[in-house]
Structure 1
Amino acid sequence: MVHPLIGKPAPSFSLPGADGETYSLTPGAKGVPVALFFYPKSGSYGCTKEACQFRDALADKDLFKRTKVEIVGVSSDPVDKQKEFVEKQKLTYPVLSDAKGEARKAYHVGKGLFGLAETARVTFIIDSKGTVRDLLDTTVNYSAHVKFVSKWLDKLEAEEKKAATPAEAPAAEAAAATPEVAAPEGPSIDELGRAAEAVQA
């Protein structure tokens, strides 16, 4: 079953971040891709690993730096829990508190682990125009999410490059259309000179 948001504009929302300040996410507004990941519980083993993998990718991976991807984490934990989580793990991106489930509802994210987890582990990739391109829904396999985002950033970067190329194409086509002036066929100047010398000899 295809997720209802695939190919559609990603919903905007505003939620409190770990610092207590309201963070507004408007996909497409900054002209950069967004990786929005929903996760079950701050501080649990899998969620900590996943959150730290996103932190490390932002710091170490050229692809994440080049594409200027915006990483945003969301769970149902209250702000004080998010604050503790962000500080302990030194997370460098917004981690938001969706205590009332507003963002989960907007993105059609249900419960995980057959209802045992309040939130499923779902990562959405949103392109620079704000369109939802794909999602990965696997609560157990926490390490797959950064790989999923990397694969999509690679793809989006290739698309952007391809879209930028047609502007340069007319000049290249014009150059290709201009016939090169061919050298006249027949004996070259050197050959004529040598022939003249031979005659004079």
Structure 2
Amino acid sequence: MTDQIRLAAGDRAPEFTLPDSEGNDVSLTDLRGRSVLLYFYPAASTPGCTKQACDFRDNLAELNDAGFAVLGVSPDKPAKLAKFVAEEGLTFPLLSDVDKAVLTSYGAYGEKQLYGKTVTGVIRSTFVIDPEGTVTHALYNVRATGHVAKLRKDLKI
């Protein structure tokens, strides 16, 4: 594997502005003052990504009550994200990073192991960002299933 950017607790979260499923721009700076759960996933409407998104949806009230905003990011175009949001009844923003610049800045795009082979793609990752914009948790190669429950346990939510 080649050297890739990897964020760690204490790093400044890279700023970004990306379109959501409706084409509206969402910026990390817009959420300053709130904690953010920012997760990166490979593709909308695939089994693992659907499970993960539905887990965030099903736990959103508790996450919001604990002060966390949830954002999902993938390289999908806004139209595909809109279909995913509608099909799964998702109630938090999904953002489109077609050129993969934000994915790359967070170390969530690059070489990974898939079925024993080295491939280039989205590395399923989650970042917890505090109200001042500092990464408090950088989690790479997370599992789609059970990830939200683990986050809730680790964050004491």
What TM-score range do you get, normalising by the shorter chain? Answer: 0.7 to 0.9
Determine if the alignment matches structure 1 residue 129 to structure 2 residue 132: yes
Report the Cα offset of residue 36 of structure 1.
Answer: 0.3
1:150 is displaced (CA, Å) by 1.1
Check whether the contact 1:40–1:121 (CA below 8 A) recurs between aligned residues: yes
SS of the residue 1:105 aligns to: helix
Shift of residue 134, structure 1, vs aligned partner: 1.4
Distance (whole Å) between structure 1 residues aligned to residue 140 and residue 30 of structure 2: 20
Residues 1:127 and 1:73: Cα distance change in structure 2 (over 3 Å): same
CA distance in 2, matches of 1:41, 1:128: 28
Counterpart of 2:16 in structure 1 is 13
**What RMSD in Å do the two structures reach over aligned CA positions?**
2.3
Q: How many residues align?
A: 150
**One-letter amino acid of the counterpart of residue 55, structure 1:** R
When normalised by structure 2's length, the TM-score is 0.84
* Cα-to-partner distance string for 1:58-115 (whole Å, 9 max, x where unaligned): 13x3xx2332201000000111111100111111111011000111122121244355
Q: C-alpha distance in 1, partners of 2:82/2:73?
A: 13
Give deviations 1:149-188, integer Å, cap 9, x for gaps. 213432xx8xxxxxxxxxxxxxxxxxxxxxxxxxxxxxxx
Whole-angstrom distance in 2 between the partners of 1:115 and 1:26:
35
- Separation in structure 1 between the aligned mates of residue 55 and residue 95 of structure 2, nearest angstrom: 17
SS of match in other structure, 2:73 = strand
Preserved CA contact (<8 Å) 2:7 2:138: no
- Report the alpha carbon displacement of residue 126 of structure 1 after superposing the two structures with TM: 1.1
- The offset of 1:28, in angstroms, is 6.2
Q: Secondary structure at the match of 1:15?
A: strand
- Secondary structure at 2:59 match in 1: helix
Q: Which amino acid in 2 is paired with 1:12?
A: E
Matches within 5 A, 1:74-89: 74-89=73-88
3-state SS of paired residue (2:44)? coil
Q: Is the 8 A contact 1:10 1:131 kept in 2?
A: yes
State whether residues 6 and 106 of structure 2, in contact with CA within 8 Å, keep that contact through their aligned partners in structure 1. no
Q: Percent identity between the aligned chains?
A: 37
Question: 2:28 aligns to what?
Answer: 25
The runs of at least 4 aligned residues of structure 1 exceeding 6 Å deviation read none
2:141 maps to 1:138: yes
Specify the alignment match of 2:47 in structure 1.
Answer: 45
CA distance in 1 between partners of 2:88 and 2:37 (Å): 19
Scaled by the length of structure 1, what TM-score is found?
Answer: 0.67
How far apart are residue 52 of structure 1 and its match?
0.5
Task: Give 1:5 deviation, angstroms.
Answer: 4.1
